[in-house]
Amino acid sequence: MSQPTAETQPLTFRRYKDGDHQVKRWQDEIFDADHSHKCPTYIQSTPPCQGSCPSGEDIRGYLNIVRGIEKPPAGMKWQEYAWRRLTEANPLPSVMGRVCPAPCESGCNRNQVEDFVGINSVEHFLGEWAIENQLAFPRPAQRSGKKVAVVGGGPAGLSAAYQLARKGHDVTIFDERAELGGMMRYGIPGFRTPRQVLDAEIQRILDLGVTARCGTRIGTDVTLAQIEAEFDAVFLGLGAQSGRPLPVEGSDAPNVVTATAFLKAFNDGRLQHVGQRVVVVGGGDTSIDVATVARRLGHIDQVHESDRPENAIAGGAGFAAHDAALLSRRQGAEVTLTSIFPIEKMQASKHEVEHALAEGIAIRGGLAPVAVLRSPEGRAIGLRVIRCEAKMVGGKLDIKQIAGTEEDIEADLIVSAIGQAVDFTGLEALNNGKGAISSDKNYQVANKPGMFCGGDVIRPHLLTTAIGHGAIAADGIDRHLRSEALDKRPKVDVHSFDLMRKMVEKGLPLTSIHEPLHGTDKSTGAVHNFDDRSDRYVISHKELYLGHFPYTPRQQRKVVTLSKEEALNNFEERLLPLLEAQAQAEAKRCMSCGQCFECDNCVVYCPQTAVFKVKKNQATMGRYVDTDYSKCIGCHICKDVCPTGYIQMGLGE
């Protein structure tokens, strides 16, 4: 796609918009003409990318490291320093950099200029660099002697185990599968999460001293009571790995299966081909995964009764007699994906939808399943659908069918990708009656001190949401093990920039550092009137000076887009990481919302020379400029020209 020319590119900033007919008087913000009770304050806020990240990554922080503003400690490469900042919140950056739908990018203030910052692609780059350079997490200096059981080895359980191990606790992960990874391994196909990448990031967590007991299901192989007796605390990250069947007549046909069963059979290596015509019902990323896997597997003409796809999905041997010559004659399957929502309103990631369309998958929106059509033998031969209008009303889904618009779609295999459920077998007492576990804001299970939960057992959502749950629950478990009261979670629950850490790295005194700081105009240990509000305030684009940022196109990762023919039997990865220079260039597009990025605007434009640079031997990131309040007249020009919104006018309020 060609980039806009100077003549056609959109304006990046306008102080006055179409329809503004009145000049805004800047004088109204100044008091008594030559002086004011308001002077610059330095306010650290949460950027919307970080506020939108379910795992709470310090996105602004690691982007500032990649771009070269925040310097790493002596002897450490910037790539490692950025990766360590990133993994304080998320220990699986290479996986998440590939599959996370990146709500951080939707929230990015740069969207007000031209396009979001490619946060996900920089995360991908850092994750790959760490694997290539065999970076490891440092083991804790001290052990607590406390033992924690983590039930479930998916993203929530791995995140909780990682954070607890860093805090010095002994962690054992129990998982019913043969390997750890949960839906990252058994739900997402390998061409989206390469297994060597997933294995490397899981092993890094295990290398902290975490023990894994795979093939052990809590509730059947071992009772929850036994776990509670053996361990000091428990984290439940069960996951929702049971698919929801289609709620229509005939859905009990043998060749009508759930998406989770389909994908598990594929990832286990059991499912090697599908029928000639596959219909997937869904609209989310899971349904896209099913459809693209079906396109790659294709079908074969000679199918023995015992080798039908549903037998492999159900766990039968299946395909044992198929030789390579037979499989090599596979042909493309005709795959149709239906959704109750229009295509543009489907929950699936836009780029995944584009890939699916390019690969010849027919996506049809605005269709609701009505019934499964069956042959005299009882097998599904088609899906009856009806046109519909679907929307959310008061948090509930409202579907209005359009009478007389029914049609039949032929099918040899029908896959239901309409949602997932938690399997509470042996753990029925934990079910709150809604297929989930009730918990408080620290994710402690109701009426169960010392038992916490996270991920899909709270509500099925993103992988990165489960990672965030695991980290928050780990904080609660740590406090419980220390017999400390569980604090109320902050309004914005994220891993934020820490000025104290930067001062320690610089060797500066910390005697006067307290959070928050107010009115410290004489202190040598802090920025004048620095206030960290990142735990409660997300900064809007309205508080930035957008005119500072020229149009800069996004550095995009190379994506291998396959045609219908090329997709058949192609299980290679499609998403390639940025090059180092590209990652740095993309990080430079970050506007560092809510944090100084050392542009010098305030120093250059101050008419009183009241704003000045901090001496190099005392300066750190976030502590780049100060104000001489004996010179400041409160004209607020520094605030107006601050691109990041770090400078606010205060002191008199």
Distance CA 231, CA 174 (A): 12
pLDDT at 325: 40
pLDDT of residue 322 exceeding 80 = no
Phi, psi angles (nearest 5°) of residue 400: -110, 115
pLDDT of residue 201 exceeding 80 = yes
Domain ranges for the chain: 147-182+200-240+426-481, 243-317+325-421
| Superfamily of domain 147-182+200-240+426-481, CATH level 4 | NAD(P)-binding Rossmann-like Domain (3.40.50.720)
Q: Do the domains spanning 147-182+200-240+426-481 and 243-317+325-421 agree at the CATH topology level?
A: no
Distance CA 538, CA 594 (A): 8
pLDDT at 308: 76
365 in Cβ contact with 390 (< 8 Å) = no
pLDDT at 102: 92
pLDDT at 523: 58
340 in Cβ contact with 368 (< 8 Å) = yes
Residues ≥6 apart with Cβ < 8 Å to 111: none
Residues 474-507 pLDDT 10s: 999 999 999 999 988 888 988 888 887 887 888 8
Cα dihedral: 199, 202, 203, 209 (round 10) = -160
pLDDT at 326: 42
Q: What is the CATH number of domain 243-317+325-421?
A: 3.50.50.60
Mean residue pLDDT of the chain comes to 88
Burial class for 492, CB neighbours closer than 10 Å (0-12, 13-18, 19+):
middle
pLDDT at 6: 45
Whole-prediction pTM value?
Answer: 0.89
- Adjacent-strand bridge partners of 333: none
Residues ≥6 apart with Cβ < 8 Å to 439: 445, 446, 452, 453, 458
pLDDT at 331: 79
Percent of the chain with pLDDT over 90: 68
82 in Cβ contact with 141 (< 8 Å) = no
Residues 515-539 pLDDT 10s: 444 445 555 555 557 888 999 999 9
Burial class for 282, CB neighbours closer than 10 Å (0-12, 13-18, 19+):
buried
Using DSSP's 3-state secondary structure scheme, residue 398 falls into strand
Q: Residue 382 corresponds to which tokens in the numbers above? A: 């088609």
pLDDT of residue 304 exceeding 70 = no
Residues 158-194 pLDDT 10s: 999 999 999 999 999 999 999 999 999 999 999 999 9
Residues 50-67 pLDDT 10s: 999 999 999 999 999 999
Concatenating the DSSP letter of every residue in 320-335 gives TT--HHHHTT-B--EE
pLDDT at 409: 97
Residues 227-273 pLDDT 10s: 999 999 999 999 988 889 999 999 999 999 999 999 999 998 888 88
Percent of the chain with pLDDT over 70: 88
Distance CA 141, CA 550 (A): 47
Q: Quickly count: other Cβ atoms within 10 Å of residue 628's Cβ.
A: 14
**Residue 302: pLDDT band with limits 50, 70, 90:** low
pLDDT of residue 120 exceeding 90 = yes
pLDDT at 508: 76
pLDDT at 321: 36
